[in-house]
Amino acid sequence: MAEQHPFSRFVAILGRGKTKQRHLTLEESRESMAMILRGEALPEQIGAFLMLLRLKEEAPEEIAGFAQGTRDTFKLPGDLPEVDLDWSSYAGKRVQLPWNILSALALVGAGYRVFMHGTEGHTPGRVYTREVLEHLGIPIAQSFDEAAAQIRESRFAYVPLEVLSPVLHDLINLRPILGLRSPVHSFTRILNPFKAPAILQGIFHRGFMDIHAGAAQLLGEKSLAVFRGDGGEIERRPNKPTQVWTTHGAEGLEVETWPALLDDGHAPHDEEMDIARLGRVWASTDEDAYAIAAITGTLAIALKTMGKADTLENAQAMAEQIWNDRDKAHLPVAA
């Protein structure tokens, strides 16, 4: 009889049927993801594992454990730079341009340090952050060391997923093959490689708010805000009220509803998705009311998550001031 493969026990836990299956514990999740990333699981096992998790839906312990297992593989610089905010971008935009990128750049221009990470291409017909940053002339970090240098020099770095973890990059791109998203789309958002004290998360499915908030509490993150952003990105939809769940360490949970900033309840569908417009909006040669509301609204959530404003109203006022005070002639981190 063939010896049982070490990874098979994790597949068995998830696939024993309705009465016997259970969630993985945090430690089981951490160990299983570390085995996958070390190349110790077979492709057949990985496919079954990811789809069983998708069918069951992930638990907070699993998201937290997968994030820890991934962090265990990072080879970080010995002297990490200080970062104010971790900003993930894994969904892409299809209805509106990614105005949230201008929110992040406005923060950088105001003196805050932002570490951004993400991926692209797994879903056709979307505009992804890397493409936009390259168009704007912003360099893409090709290593953790390069990202650290960029944070020190310009207060901003964007690191693609294939740099964070080539294996996770391959797994997230299985979506067109498997036909479904996998837990990789979820836990990459909480990786926070440079250990920022504040994390923003944008999700698409409202039902995942408690899962992401619970994972943040298990990981003891100092401050994490998660909300249903436009297209699943970290971008406040200014035409609708936005519920934001914010965690503070292992215990605290705050749920707030941010009001709509525009009267129109329907977001306009941008048929062209011309990324050159982002530069024009930054320079104020394009005064798009929806774009500016999305930018300042997202900025406001970031500022409150970082503890820079104590109320929703103060956060919005501060965001609008930062946007009005930006250097319209120059982006803060262009090469």
Residues 121 and 223 in one domain: yes
Average pLDDT rounded to a whole number, residues 302-316: 98
Q: Residue 268: left (phi > 0), alpha (psi -120 to 50), or beta?
A: beta
Average pLDDT rounded to a whole number, residues 236-260: 94
Q: What percent of the chain has pLDDT over 90?
A: 83
Are 297 and 257 in contact by the 8 Å Cβ rule? The answer is no
- State the total domains in the chain: 2
Last-in-domain residue among 71, 95, 117:
71
Last-in-domain residue among 17, 37, 71:
71
pLDDT at 335 over 70: no
Span 154-204, pLDDT tens digits: 999 999 999 999 999 999 988 888 887 888 989 999 999 999 999 999 998
pLDDT of residue 1: 54
Q: Is residue 196 part of a domain?
A: yes
Q: Is residue 1 part of a domain?
A: no
pLDDT of residue 149: 97
In this structure, of 19-28, 38-47, 307-316, the range with the lowest mean pLDDT score is 19-28
Residues 54 and 117 in one domain: no
Residues 93 and 43 in one domain: no
Residues 118 and 157 in one domain: yes
Domain interval for residue 102: 85-325
Residues 191 and 280 in one domain: yes
pLDDT at 20 over 90: no
Beta bridge partners of 198: 223
Span 205-217, pLDDT tens digits: 777 899 999 999 9
Q: Is residue 93 part of a domain?
A: yes
Span 151-162, pLDDT tens digits: 999 999 999 999
Span 56-85, pLDDT tens digits: 889 999 999 999 999 999 999 999 999 999
* Cβ-Cβ contacts under 8 Å for 245 (sequence gap 6 or more): 209, 210, 212, 213, 225, 226, 227, 253, 254, 255
CATH of the domain at 139: 3.40.1030.10
Q: 206 versus 136: which is more confidently predicted?
A: 136
Q: Is residue 78 part of a domain?
A: no
Q: Is residue 194 part of a domain?
A: yes
Query: Token pair of 58, please?
Result: 């992930």
Pairing of strands 156-160, 198-203: unpaired
Residues 104 and 243 in one domain: yes
Q: Is the dihedral of CA 153, 154, 156, 162 positive or negative?
A: negative
Q: Is residue 331 part of a domain?
A: no
SS3 19: coil
CATH of the domain at 48: 1.20.970.10
Query: Token pair of 92, please?
Result: 């892409």
Residues 116 and 246 in one domain: yes
pLDDT at 86 over 70: yes
Q: Is residue 330 part of a domain?
A: no
CA dist 67 and 185 (Å) reads 11
Span 113-132, pLDDT tens digits: 999 999 987 777 899 999 99
CA dist 113 and 104 (Å) reads 9
Residues 97 and 168 in one domain: yes
pLDDT of residue 144: 97
Residue 275 identity (one-letter amino acid): I
Last-in-domain residue among 16, 47, 71:
71
Residues 148 and 176 in one domain: yes
Other residues' Cβ atoms within 10 Å of the Cβ of residue 184: 27
Residues 67 and 110 in one domain: no
Q: Mean pLDDT of all residues in the chain?
A: 94
Q: Is residue 29 part of a domain?
A: yes
pLDDT of residue 82: 97
Q: pTM value?
A: 0.94
